[in-house]
Amino acid sequence: MLVDRRTAIGLGLLLAAPLLARPVAAAGCAFADLAKGVIFQRQDGSRGLARADSDGTVVIDYVTNRGAWTDQRRVKDGIFEISRVVEESEEPVVGASAPSYSWSYSPRPPRPVDGMSWTGKVRERVEVTLSDAAGTVQRQKTRWTANFRVFDPRAVKLSGCSYQALAVEAHFVGEQGARSQRWVYFPDLGFGIETRRDGKENGIVKMGPA
């Protein structure tokens, strides 16, 4: 399945011809490096920061410029989220902690490559601590059947630099219903940035070294 031109524009990416090798840096290009940190901006104006951690995972802070708004995730193998703390409010929220999510996968999914498809079970755990006298912790567990698909290798140009990129789509089905996600995964960098969640687009418009 190929992404059509309208979808590509919606992702906020400038698409070039397919790229088989990392290009020589053009004038004004500063390649991002995950070990040193990668900054990025999405269409809604949110600026983020991604960096490699010592345990082999990648820590991605999707929102660094919107007050109390929080969206911090840890991923492995480039895109598979294993934890997330999220609070979608620019003002501090009184009454409970930001929800904390964690996920585990069975069998272990592989690192994304073109044509890969992975189907497995995902266990989700959500915790919220209430600001009552007892500090009550509410927990919820959900099981999903998930399918991840990797396709459409392209060259994308961001902030004057060209990168190899793969589209990754995931669909989850469980007792809570269904949900979906989409990423642009950068093999050269070893991580992906979410560009769609449950039908809501939020493409990448800038990316570079921290």
Bridge partners of 153?
A: none
CA gap 207, 205 in Å, rounded: 7
Residue with tokens 């004038």: 27
CA gap 206, 203 in Å, rounded: 10
pLDDT above 70 as % of the chain: 84
Amino acid at 40: F
CA gap 204, 196 in Å, rounded: 10
Mean per-residue pLDDT for 126-150?
A: 88
Is 38 in a helix, a strand, or coil? strand
Lowest-confidence segment of 66-75, 80-89, 91-100, 160-169 by average pLDDT: 91-100
- Concatenating the DSSP letter of every residue in 123-170 gives EEEEEEEB-STT--EEEEEEEEEEEEEEEEEEEEEETTEEEEEEEEEE
Q: Which two tokens stand for residue 7?
A: 């979808």
pLDDT of residue 176: 84
| pLDDT tens-digit series, residues 174-188 | 988 999 999 999 999
Bridge partners of 191?
A: 186
Beta carbons of 106 and 143 less than 8 angstroms apart: no
pLDDT of residue 107: 97
Mean per-residue pLDDT for 62-91?
A: 94
Q: Is the pTM of this model over 0.85?
A: no
Beta carbons of 75 and 191 less than 8 angstroms apart: yes
Domains of the chain: 5-209 (2.40.360)
Bridge partners of 140?
A: 126
